[in-house]
Structure 1
Amino acid sequence: MSTSSSRSSSQSSRGMTDITWTHVIDGVNPNGRKTLKCLHRGKVTRGGGIFRMKQHLAGTKGDVGACLKVPFDVQYLMRESLKDIRIKNKEKVDSSKYNTPYGAPIHRLEGDMLNEDNEEFCPSEIHINESRFGSQQKLLVDAMTAIESGYKHPNYHGLRVNLLRDAKKEVQLFVDSYRKIWENVGCILMADGWTDNSHRSLINFMVYCPKGVCFVKSIDASDVVKDVGTLLKMFEEVALWIEPNSIVHFVSDNGSNYKAARRMLSEKYPSITWSPCATHSINLVLKDIVEMDHIVYLARRASEVTKFVYNHTFFIAWLRRRQGWKEIVRPSATRFAITFIAMRSLYEHKHDLQAMVTDKSFVDS
């Protein structure tokens, strides 16, 4: 394996979730350079990262000598991990060869042409994965066969201008059909504040009526102070677009600024009543519960059990062979309910985990 390939692979394997970290200790030498030490033989490396230590434990020929004291099962895991890395690197190289500004098309292969003598025929560059979309593919084929010969597909300009304009008009007609329901029976306006992956503070506005839920607009509030006056202006703008007399109820988050803004909106338009978001209220209750000392202790212990199981390939493989096994829900930094969902999941796996620690293969490992 070349040095550049080793470097790229080591960078992709530096995360502390790599199984190799359970067999090495990271440290710093007197010169301030990071080092990795093998727990089995004591081998110390000063470069190459976790990938070089993976080669050491796997016993493969490369930039570092093989570990002579590593257990067979650990050596097997390291070799399988290296094999997966080689496959992923090959896939990346293969896909990068054919990338275009519009994606990665399927290139012409032997047999693509229905008639090799007809030079005017050129196959469509449809990705082979499209064949997996069963129902969508069937609808596409049915639509194509229903069109008579002589049909010309739209060009780039048609797709970018005419069809896009028609699609926008179709959506507008769809929303207008909802507006009639709002006028006749009333509707509920909902404001949902959230933060996306780019750390933008967004507020989504949706309207509910007996016909269904309709998305109205999304406001990027990242660069504004969400005080009472600003929120009231946003809420009133959407309410005027819907028609205040058509709104019978307004639901939003439970922040003090949101409470004050919706109360002022209700005072200005008496037909609009308001209530806090039930989901947000439940999350606030769970937030207080999850901060209790005994819940913090239980959550930490549950996380340790889960990490131990999923960081040892042999044990998780043993559990997955048990009848009726379902994956353990692992906590993540989302809403507070996930802590309780994860602990309940762990409780439901109680007998499987007890059976694992009393099994002969666990005791002898």
Structure 2
Amino acid sequence: MESASVPSNEHASTGSNANSSSVRAKCDPAWDHVTEELKDRKSSYRCIHCGKSYKGGDINRMKRHLAGIKGDVVACMGVPYDVRFQMVENLKGISKSKEQTKKDQEASNYSPLEDSPEFEDVQEITPRGRGLRSNLGKRKVGNIDNYFAPRTTPGAQPSIKSVLAGKEKKWRVDMSVARWMYDACIPINAVNSSYYQPMFNAVASYGPGYRGPNYHALRVPLLRDAKREVQLIVDSHRSYWADTSCTIMADGWTDTRHRTLINFLVYCPKGIIFIRSVDASDLVKDAINLSNLFDEIISWVGPANIVHLVTDNAANYMAAGKIVCGKYRNISWSPCAAHCLNLIFKEIGKMDHIAKLAKRASKITVFIYNHVALQAWLRTRKNWTEIVRPGPTRFATTFIALRSLKEHKHDLQALVTSKFYVESRYAKDKKAKAVVKIIIDNQFWNDCHVIVHIMSPLIRLLRIVDSDEKPAMGYVYDGMYRVIDGIKKIFKDKKRLWEPYVNIIKDRWDNQFYRDIHATAY
């Protein structure tokens, strides 16, 4: 039995060589990303990243698929950056190795081992040692980030070091970050910044011993470098302005020191760029001075690159826009859509029945928020949210506040009819009785419902034009007509009911808001 289990020397040698070749071939790094399937004694290879399978060829063909080298195979679209980089470097190493072998063969006139069928796949082993390190060493450090996927991206494979660190070590790191934020009074929503996680990625890649920048570095050299980076971004956008044209936006506002400032921004499909802020406090803001200021900005951007100028719709800005358009025939002026809509809200809000309704609603809000005990009772209600209060300059907030109050109708009625309120000292107050009378008045709530329903299309359009998520120019023309049609349908085409609202909208639209560029964009 013992002698039968020992093979002959010849068979042992052959089996050993065959096994060695198979093991060496399976050591190729591409096998970690490829599965081999046998069907009718023929091999096919399937990529685990994109699911594509190929019959025939060998692992080298799949390696070209993973590396994205086009030819007899399609590039893989699902492979991670670090895997693609590894495959590319592996193929480069094999190519260099073959070239070196060919040179050695020509020099020594000696047939290398690779001509032997026994070692046919040996050349496909990745140069894991010096070859890969030497190739990486020749690359610039800044370029490596483009090939290796960060370990912090969702679904990324964690490093061995981070896995072995444990929860306690991670907690200590998290607490260090949290203590610094709490001590410096940094708002918690700062973690939503797009630069938050990249900061930690950069620190982790630096390794132990990193010391953060000091006060002087942040104040002088790093700030200077950041300014240079921003200038490079602006310069990169300037090349797009000539290709796609752009819009200049002038945004006037007053700061806490009561200075009149005008911010100038340039929009193109690549994004919005802030270019300049002008202190116009000592400037007589007539049409001539404003048009000269606009002309200066237009000259810097390039008149041929501009198709649209957007400003406030005050009379002096309108006159300045006409002067600019008369000088540059390719530039079209239009008022700010959000500002125009706010003025429509302002004029509708001045209508007698709406002004009275808003005044009554304001009494409820003031009464509730002037008494802490009433607020505390309401906050115990299920799914309670705070009542929106109108802003002093944003006229749309009047209607948003009415909608918010309407949504709290049942909570407010439950409050004034509760045992807590009836037995409290507030129930005997004269002003409180007037507020209670409004809260239990169903006609008040019906009027709120109608006004909110009328203004909803306008509020929806305001949110579209005042948003930075996508270009809104194409929605203005269609949106205004949808608003008018929606108001008519609410009143079932009864002209005496819808006419006061539609006349205000049409007057602003026809005389100021409507522009050919809106129709063109639509």
TM-score between the two structures when normalised by the length of structure 1:
0.61
The CA deviation string for residues 279-315 of structure 1, in whole angstroms up to 9 with x for no partner, is 1111111222222222222222111111111122222
Alpha-carbon offset, residue 321 of structure 1: 1.3
- Candidates 275, 284, 287, aligned match of 2:343: 284
Shift of 1:200: 1.4
* DSSP-derived class of the 1:327 partner: coil
- C-alpha distance after superposition, 1:117-175 (max 9, x if no partner): xxxxxxxx956446966577765444333225666665555444332222111111000
Partner of 1:353: 412
* 1:317 counterpart letter in structure 2: A
How far apart are the structure 2 equivalents of 1:156 and 1:315? 48
Confirm or deny that 1:272 pairs with 2:292.
no
Pairing partner for 2:394 from 322, 335, 355? 335
One-letter code aligned to 1:364: E
Q: Deviations over 1:37-94 (max 9, x none)?
A: xxxxxxxxxxxxxxxxxxxxxxxxxxxxxxxxxxxxxxxxxxxxxxxxxxxxxxxxxx
Query: What one-letter code is carried by the residue in structure 2 that aligns with 1:231?
Result: L
Partner of 1:185: 244
Secondary structure of the structure 2 residue equivalent to 1:178: helix
CA distance in 2, matches of 1:280, 1:253: 7
Structure-2 change in CA distance of 1:295 and 1:197 (3 Å):
farther
Distance 2:213 2:379 in 1: 51
Q: Counterpart in 1 of 2:365?
A: 306
* Structural mapping, 1:136-147, within 5 Å: 139-147=198-206
Of residues 208, 213, 216, the one that matches 2:267 is 208
Name 1:165's counterpart in structure 2: 224
Q: Offset of 1:359 from its aligned partner?
A: 1.3
Unaligned ranges ≥5, structure 1: 1-124
* Distance in structure 1 (CA, Å) of the matches to 2:268 and 2:284: 31
- 1:317 equivalent to 2:376? Answer yes
Structure-2 separation of matches of 1:205 and 1:349: 41
CA contact (8 A) 2:266 2:274 kept: yes
- Does residue 241 (structure 1) correspond to residue 324 (structure 2)? The answer is no
Corresponding letter in the other structure for 1:294 = H
Question: 2: distance between equivalents of 1:170 and 1:192?
Answer: 24
Separation in 2, partners of 1:346, 1:156: 49
Please give the secondary structure, in 1, of the residue aligned with 2:220. helix
2:225 is aligned with what amino acid?
Answer: D
What residue identity is the alignment partner of 1:235?
F
Match of 1:224 in 2: 283
One-letter identity of the residue aligned with 2:267? Y
Change (3 A) 1:358 1:182: same
Residues 155, 321 of structure 1: CA spacing in aligned structure 2 closer, same or farther, 3 A cutoff? closer
Distance 1:155 1:305 in 2: 53
Residue by residue, what CA displacement relative to the aligned partner does 1:86-126 show, whole Å, maximum 9, x if unpaired? xxxxxxxxxxxxxxxxxxxxxxxxxxxxxxxxxxxxxxx95
**Contact 2:378–2:411 (CA<8 Å) still a contact in 1?**
yes
Partner deviation per Cα, 1:220-279 (whole Å, 9 max, x = no partner): 111111001110011011111100110011111111111111111011111111111111
In structure 2, how many angstroms separate the alpha carbons of the residues matched to 1:200 and 1:286? 27
Distance 1:339 1:155, change over 3 A: closer
In the alignment, the residues of structure 1 paired with residue 345 and residue 324 of structure 2 have an alpha-carbon distance, to the nearest angstrom, of 29
Alignment equivalent of 1:258, drawn from 317, 322, 329: 317
Q: Which residue of 2 aligns with 1:11?
A: none
CA distance in 2, matches of 1:318, 1:140: 45
Q: Which whole-Å CA distance do the structure 2 matches of 1:303 and 1:243 have between them?
A: 50
Question: In structure 1, what is the equivalent of residue 144 of structure 2?
Answer: none
**Which structure has the bigger radius of gyration?**
2
Q: Could you say which structure has the higher helix fraction? A: 2
Aligned equivalents of 2:325, 2:412: Cα separation in 1: 54
Decide whether aligned partners of structure 1 residues 154 and 347 sit closer, same or farther in structure 2, where only a CA change above 3 A counts. Answer: closer
1:204 alignment partner, SS class: strand
May I ask how many residue pairs the two structures share in their alignment? 241
User: Structure 2, unaligned stretches of length 5 or more?
Assistant: 1-178, 425-522
Change (3 A) 1:349 1:126: closer
Q: Calculate the aligned-residue CA RMSD, in Å.
A: 2.3
Q: How does 1:28-107 map to 2 (within 5 A)?
A: none
Distance 1:346 1:158, change over 3 A: closer
Corresponding residue SS for 1:173: helix
AA matched with 1:303: S
Alignment CA distance shift 1:317-1:128 (3 Å): closer
Q: CA deviation at 1:322?
A: 1.2
Partner of 1:41: none
Q: How many Å separate the matches in 1 of 2:356 and 2:392?
A: 17
In 1, the alpha carbon distance for the partners of 2:197 and 2:272 equals 29
Classify the secondary structure of the residue corresponding to 1:163.
Answer: helix
In structure 2, give the amino acid aligned to 1:347: K
C-alpha distance 238-342 of structure 1, shift in aligned 2 (>3 A): same
Q: Which residue of 2 aligns with 1:198?
A: 257
What SS does structure 1 have at the residue aligned with 2:333? Answer: strand
